[in-house]
Amino acid sequence: MDIQEKIAGEITIAENPGETIRKWREEFQVSQLDLAKYLEISPSVISDYESGRRKSPGVSSIKKIVNALVELDLKRGGQVLRRYNSGMPSDAVIDISDYNHDISLERVIRMISGTNYSSIGLNRYIRGYTIVDGIKAILSFSYSEYSKLYGWSSQRIIFFTEVKLGRSPMIAIRVHPLKPAAVVYIKPDRIDDLAIKLADVENIPLIVTELDVQELSKIMSSLK
């Protein structure tokens, strides 16, 4: 079952279809105005569906709404679709993608204005990237779910947000058999010595960037 069928089915059988439409619209980060504009209908129609003021849309209308959400996401790079297709908890993985060619890690680090805190050189290549919410990953991922961070290849950069000291992500990486080509912390509070020591032991460059998630996702997606 693809994501469109899953969403359409959930809306159709929901006790309150309007609330479910709103849930998925917000999950795809699409405003009522943008959705209505794409469907060429009045924004009040979407508002009425979601509030229950208007009778639940029929199967045909639900399909159009779902397809619009998916198509709008694809126009913006398909981040939501990639999260769901990866099989990861949707609120933990922010973006994930793979490349069909090698990309120089040194080039990527320059593009994201990264600083290497480890003693490990950057003379290696990547085949993908994953941007993950560090706190949600640590708190909610099972051991097997960590494997899904690596997509089709462990030859990738794993970006972590919400980093406080930098220990937890590196400890999680240390205990898992799969190792990424590099780890990047996004705007960490600080990096303590243990995080750097673990990176050196595991032979993984530990990079820090001050760019925000949206900009990083745009840069990494442009490398395809």
Positive or negative torsion for Cα 23, 28, 34, 37: negative
Q: How far apart are CA 49 and CA 170, in angstroms?
A: 46
160 against 6, higher pLDDT? 160
Q: pLDDT at position 141, please?
A: 61
Q: What is the per-residue DSSP string for 105-129?
A: HHHHHHHTT-EE-SS-----EEEEE
Average pLDDT, integer, range 96-102: 88
Average pLDDT of span 155-181: 84
Domain ranges of the chain: 3-76, 85-221
Helices and strands per DSSP (H, E), number in the chain: 12, 6
Q: Which amino acid is at 30?
A: V
pLDDT at 186 > cutoff 90: yes
Environment class of residue 43 by beta-carbon count within 10 Å: exposed (0-12), middle (13-18) or buried (19+)? middle
Laid out side by side, the sheet with 93-104 consists of 93-104, 125-133, 157-161, 182-186, 206-209, 115-116
Q: What is the DSSP letter of 96?
A: E
Of 67, 53, 68, 69, which Cα lies nearest the Cα of 16?
Answer: 53
CATH fourth-level superfamily of 85-221:
HprK N-terminal domain-like (3.40.1390.20)
Arithmetic mean of pLDDT, 197-211? 94
More confident residue, 105 or 77: 105
Q: Which CATH superfamily hosts domain 3-76?
A: lambda repressor-like DNA-binding domains (1.10.260.40)
Comparing CA positions, the residue from 80, 78, 128, 83 lying closest to residue 108 is 128
Q: Is 189 exposed, middle or buried (0-12, 13-18, 19+ CB in 10 A)?
A: exposed
- 43-83 confidence digits (pLDDT tens): 999 999 999 898 888 888 999 999 999 999 888 877 777 76
57-61, 120-124, 151-155: range with lowest mean pLDDT: 151-155
Question: pLDDT class for 178, splitting at 50, 70, 90?
Answer: confident
Report the pLDDT averaged over residues 159-186. 85
pTM of the prediction? Answer: 0.61
According to the model, what pLDDT value does residue 205 have?
96
Pairing state between β 115-116 and 125-133: unpaired
* CA neighbor of 125 nearest in space, from 107, 102, 150, 108: 102
Residue 86, pLDDT above cutoff 70 = no
Q: Residue type at 20?
A: T
Give percent of the chain with pLDDT exceeding 90. Answer: 44
